[in-house]
Amino acid sequence: MSDEQQPQQNPQASGASWTSFIKSIASFNGDLSSLTAPPFILSSTSLVEFSSYWCEHPTVFAAPAAELDPAKRALLVLKWFLTTLKQQYASRSEQYGNEKKPLNPFLGELFLGKWEDAAGMTELVSEQVSHHPPATAYSITNLPSKVHLEGYNAQKASFSKTIYIKQIGHAVLSVPDPNKPSTNDLYIITLPSLHVEGLLFGSPFIELDGASYITSSTGYTAKIDYSGKGWLSGKKNSFTATLYPTGKEKEVLYNVSGQWTKAFEIHSGSAKHNSSNNLIDSWDPTNTTTSKLIVAPIEKQHPLESRRAWAKVAQGIAIGDMNSVGKEKTKIENAQRAMRKKEQTEGRQWERRYFNALEGPDTALQSLAKNVGLREDGDSEKTGGLWRYDATKADKVRGEELADEEKAKLAVELLGQ
């Protein structure tokens, strides 16, 4: 929903609701996602849509496939990752004026889309693969270059003066080696931790903290350190990153620094030698437009696709009708409970449409996880499984055409609509 569709809020009522919400967080033990947020902080967007933020610059996503030098190829992967951060963690604050609480996806919820630009067609598949614990899996493929990203994530939130969120999961990027067309470079990407600033003032925004890593099968690792504005110094959304031969962190080949919401510069060598002489690239997201994500019209979508499934809830949020929001959410939740009970009675599990939970070891994690402190099982017990994209499944459902009456029947069975 656009900003124009958001209802105007009474400042005094909003302030009272916000104060009450902060108090409820401070005294809450458990999953913060289950808390009821005040109406003015609710988003009409489901978490399953957030996977699209990985690739709103498809030309940058596909660029590593054309680079012959493996070190520079790793640098292009690092650059692409850094360009995703603003969309992933700040785009909602910029759109709405502050961070919003997204809708919690139901098991089997889908978000499908594509980008068509100078990079050709890039396809997105996002699916809620686990509900307890909640986890979202995604697959993004640039068809001309065959660059492919897959991964999954869950979040664990806690409160101590602010909301702290640990992201659980990882991503795997596969890049065809232009020197060996039948060979793919693999990159394991870890996820940064984050916390929510501005809570006491009723204008929350996300700040990243700690470090995240990208390590490659070609022998290079990148470390990204995040920092924010402190009481006395520093700038909001700051970071520094280094790229080095794996295991040789002091032998810096390239360094990157700046603000992930504004601009950053890439230099060769160590940061202590940075000057205009070793500046090799820069990025300013404020001067770079994102590619438009194309999503099928709601009436053409499968009943499990996010915007179709949550359409009535989103409409209620847009007009500030919380009674309608509660009623429509309850329909979906009750239908999902009935579906889980039916599956349990019949001794079966929900069949994921695009992803599988691996039962054996994962090749990429076996060889690379140790470089960045990941476990070889991918923390699967915290995400309902070690999830990987299944191209065979995808080909099967891609050709599936449901008649309107079939869609209506599924909507009633799966969503209570």
What are the pLDDT tens digits along the chain (417 aa)? 333 333 334 434 445 555 566 666 666 555 555 556 655 577 899 999 999 999 999 999 999 999 999 999 999 999 999 999 999 998 876 665 666 788 999 999 999 999 999 999 999 999 999 998 999 999 999 999 999 999 999 988 877 777 888 999 999 999 999 998 789 999 999 999 998 877 766 667 889 999 999 999 999 999 999 998 754 457 889 999 999 999 999 999 999 999 999 999 999 999 998 999 999 999 998 889 999 999 999 999 999 999 999 999 999 988 888 889 989 999 999 999 999 999 999 999 999 999 999 988 899 999 999 999 999 999 999 999 999 999 999 999 887 777 777 877 888 888 888
- 162's tokens: 């602010």
Residue type, 398: R
Q: What is the pLDDT of residue 9?
A: 40
CA–CA separation, 224 and 192 (whole Å):
9
Note whether 226 and 210 are within 8 A (CB). yes
d(CA 219, CA 150) in angstroms, rounded, equals 20
User: Measured between alpha carbons, how far is 116 from 173 in angstroms, rounded to an integer?
Assistant: 20
Give the chain's end-to-end CA distance (angstroms, integer). Answer: 21
Q: What is the pLDDT of residue 271?
A: 92
**Shortest CA distance to 394 belongs to which of 169, 189, 182, 150?**
150
Residue 169: burial class (beta carbons within 10 Å; 0-12, 13-18, 19+) = buried
What does CATH list as the number for 1-417? 2.40.160.120
Q: What is the distance between the alpha carbons of residues 121 and 81, in angstroms, rounded to a whole number?
A: 19
Q: Report the C-alpha gap between 300 and 38 in whole angstroms.
A: 33
Dist. CA 23–CA 7, nearest whole Å: 24
What pLDDT does residue 119 have?
98
Domain ranges of the chain: 1-417
Report the alpha-carbon distance of residue 1 to residue 313 in Å, rounded. Answer: 11
Distance from CA of residue 69 to its chain's centroid?
29
Residue 168 near residue 193 (C-beta atoms within 8 A): no
Q: Are strands 220-227 and 205-216 parallel, antiparallel or unpaired?
A: antiparallel
Comparing CA positions, the residue from 201, 204, 103, 203 lying closest to residue 163 is 204
pLDDT reported for residue 7: 38
42-46/101-103 β-pairing:
parallel
- Number of neighbours of residue 217 by Cβ within 10 angstroms: 20
* H or E element that contains 64: none
CB 207, CB 194: distance < 8 Å: yes
Predicted confidence at residue 5, as pLDDT, reads: 37
CB atoms within 10 A of CB 407: 17
